[in-house]
Amino acid sequence: MADTKLTRILLLGCGYTGLEVARQARARGLQVLATTRSFQRSQELAAAGAEPIVLSTLDAESLASHVDAHSALIVSFPPDGQTDARCAALARHAYASAYVSSTGVYGSRRGHIDDSTPAAPDTPRLELRLAAEQAWREAGATVLRAAAIYGPGRGMHERVRSGSARIAGDGRQHVCRIHVEDLARALLRSVELPLGPETYVVADDEPAPQGEVVRYLAQRLGVPCPVSVPLESAPETLRHDRRIDAARFKRETGISWHYPNYREGFEACLRAEQAERGSNVYIVAIDLGSPVHARSLLELLDHYARDPVGGGAGLSESVKQRLIPALRAQSRYLGFLAFEGERAIGLINCFVGFSTFAARPLLNVHDIVVHESARRRGVGRLLLARAEQAARESDCCKLTLEVLSGNKIALAAYAALGFEPYVLDPSVGSALLLEKKL
């Protein structure tokens, strides 16, 4: 191995973590290849410096030509019980390989967790994760069990900002996390050394009580502190009480974290988000239980309905009274608001559907509204980008939306973002949206 040089990274799965690995690998002068199932996704990968490989199914045979003694694999796609077994043999022919797992494999274990702590998966999903670990480790890969991954646009600060965060019980449960930049550095270090078929936990240096983190973020963002909910009704990830100890990984690799605690990490997130926005506009997930969000949704939707493109008449009082409770009853609803300071200036309402041709969910954009005072500033693009991110995180096969054929401005904007008419066979034309009112 001493005479062999690492020149290429092959990313199997390139979501939030994979994109950061791609950026860092390119900065080191490495060639980066990344798999995707979507031609539209190819543009985002290319922007990050990766050469996309579009495949509907991952298997060793399809990828073999991209793997040699100068290539390292970094695997971050979620386990499905099949794909890891089909692909793990690739690791035997690579310079090195790393598999991104999760500290979730410790299930309900509490307290101090390090590399010697036995896994205790307590759900079928975690059993699949553990089986995927074993498949890659047996083929020679290093397994990194990552704590909660956060970074710009993703993490507890987003939930606190949107008003959807809650403190679990008394908030004393310790939660561990790792900034996406540090996780990407850890993955690259593990294949550069390389570490071989070992298993490590990776998390920042300061496990912190969940309530402490939430209160810090609320004060930092200038928003009301989230309320507490009974521990038993809180999301499972907030009920855990773990102190992840990554000392062995840091000792054996010589790495030190750029963001050793939540304060430094979240401050970096806020700076990066502000720089990317270039303004005071930010996107938050809609919490229908928030009076501010509910009022903003109704006001923006009414604003759109009064526009000639929206029909020229506002929402009826009956609809205004019924809409929020009706949306709360829809388990497949997903929405985001664009704020400028404290004022909501944009809205996107989406619903999860299903594609029988792809056997995967899809996300339909039902409404997208930008207040007339904020148009031509990229607000709609930001809303659609956030909806696309949510769709990818939910493994949706596509985004769909309806647009009036005479709305030339919207048609041009959607085309620039990669939307196309739905066509199966050009000889029979594109799909039309029809309705029959009941």
Render pLDDT for 231-278 as a digit per residue (tens, 0 to 9): 887 777 778 899 999 999 999 999 999 999 999 999 999 888 877 665
- Residue 278's pLDDT is what? 59
Residue-wise pLDDT tens digits, 183-227 = 999 999 999 999 999 999 999 999 999 999 999 998 887 778 888
**Do 58 and 153 contact (CB within 8 A), yes or no?**
no
What is the CATH topology of the domain spanning 281-428?
Aminopeptidase (3.40.630)
Query: Position of tokens 């402490």?
Result: 212
Biggest CA-to-CA distance, the chain:
75
pLDDT digits (tens, 9 = 90+) for 89-100: 999 999 999 999
Q: Write the CB contacts of 210 (distance below 8 Å, at least 6 apart in sequence).
A: 167, 168, 171, 172, 173, 174, 175, 238
Residues 369, 330 contacting (CB under 8 angstroms): no
- Residues above pLDDT 90, as percent of the chain: 65
What is the structure's pLDDT at 193? Answer: 95
Average pLDDT, the chain: 91
For 144-158, 222-236, 369-383, which range has the lowest pLDDT when averaged over its residues? Answer: 222-236
Q: Determine contact, residues 226/214, Cβ cutoff 8 Å.
A: yes
Tell me: pLDDT of 434 over 90. Answer: no
Which residues have C-beta within 8 Å of that of residue 132, sequence separation ≥ 6?
79, 84, 99, 101
* Mean pLDDT along residues 154-167: 88
pLDDT digits (tens, 9 = 90+) for 20-55: 999 999 999 999 999 998 877 887 888 888 999 999
Spatial CB neighbours of 51, under 8 Å, sequence gap ≥ 6: 31, 32, 33, 34, 45
Instruction: Give the sign of the dihedral formed by CA 39, CA 44, CA 45, CA 49.
Output: positive
Residue 36 CA to residue 38 CA, distance in Å, equals 6
Question: Which two three-digit tokens encode residue 401?
Answer: 């939306």
Please enumerate, as own/partner, the contacts of 427-436 that have beta carbons within 8 Å and a separation of 24 or more.
433/402
Within the chain, all domains assigned CATH 3.40.50.720 are found at 8-277
Mean pLDDT for the stretch of residues 401-430 = 80
**Which amino acid makes up residue 81?**
G
Q: Return phi, psi of residue 405, to 5°.
A: -65, -25
Tokens of 398: 């596509």
Q: State residue 277's pLDDT score.
A: 62
* Angle separating helix axes 262-277 and 210-221, nearest 10 degrees: 30
Confidence class for position 170, pLDDT limits 50, 70, 90: very high
- pLDDT at residue number 72: 98
**Is 146 in contact with 183 (CB distance < 8 Å)?**
yes
Amino acid at 342: E
- Residue 279's pLDDT band, with cuts at 50, 70 and 90, is low
- The pLDDT of residue 415 is 77
Cα gap 12→72, rounded to integer Å: 11
Q: Judge residue 151's burial from the number of C-beta atoms within 10 Å of its C-beta, 0-12 exposed, 13-18 middle, 19 or more buried.
A: buried
* pLDDT value of position 231: 85
Beta bridge partners of 142: 98
Locus of tokens 């944009």? 346
Query: Which of the four pLDDT bands, split at 50, 70 and 90, describes residue 130?
Result: very high
Top CATH class of 8-277 equals alpha beta
DSSP 40-53: HHHHHHHHTT-EEE
pLDDT for residue 3: 57
Residue spans in the chain of domains classed CATH 3.40.630.30: 281-428
- Distance from chain centroid for Cα 381: 18
In the chain, pLDDT over 70 holds for what percent of residues?
98
Q: Give the tokens for residue 54.
A: 């579009």
- How far is the CA of 240 from the CAs of 235, 245, 376, 416, in angstroms? 9, 15, 45, 44
* Parallel, antiparallel or unpaired: strands 281-285 and 242-244: unpaired
Task: State the Cα–Cα distance between residues 28 and 16, nearest whole angstrom.
Answer: 19
Reply yes or no: is the peptide bond before residue 78 cis, omega within 30 of 0: no
Q: For 302-347, how does the pLDDT look when each residue is reduced to its tens digit (9 = 90+)?
A: 999 998 877 888 999 999 999 999 999 999 999 999 988 788 999 9
Contact between 107 and 126 (Cβ < 8 Å): yes
Angle between helices 317-328 and 291-306 (to 10 degrees): 130
Q: Which residue has the tokens 């386990």?
A: 79
Alpha helices of 193-316 — where are they, by DSSP H?
A: 210-221, 236-239, 247-253, 262-277, 291-306
pLDDT at 2 over 50: no
